[in-house]
Amino acid sequence: MSSYQRPIKFHLGVVHLTPAAVEALIRNEEELMHLLKRHREGDYGAEMCYDDRVVNEESIKRGGRVLSSYTLKDKTVIWIITAAGWTESTVMVREEY
């Protein structure tokens, strides 16, 4: 059985997680690696509007900041932000920003 993988659009660098994000992922039985994979392949989450997606795509061309937003089962919103230069990414609950 073969599964299609989208190409990686950028690198994550060192990944940091806030304690609130860890708690939310555990509470919702969500796999961190799944969200990170979606983020780096350009699946920025259903919550991202067209304009935000365009900003991300333009930012990727310049090595800039990339933001994804994912809503978990209990409606907690997780943001993944990869900083410009792609040396680090942070996983956090939206309210922590």
**Annotated domain spans of the chain:** 14-96
Global pTM?
Answer: 0.93
**Alpha-carbon gap, residue 90 to 68, rounded angstroms:** 11
pLDDT tens-digit map of 63-84: 999 999 999 999 999 999 999 9
Report whether pLDDT(1) > 60.
no
Average pLDDT, the chain: 95
Q: Tell which residue, 62, 17, 67, has the closest CA to residue 42.
A: 67
18-32 confidence digits (pLDDT tens): 999 999 999 999 999
Checking if the pLDDT of 87 tops 90, the result is yes
CB within 8 Å of 26: residues ≥ 6 apart: none
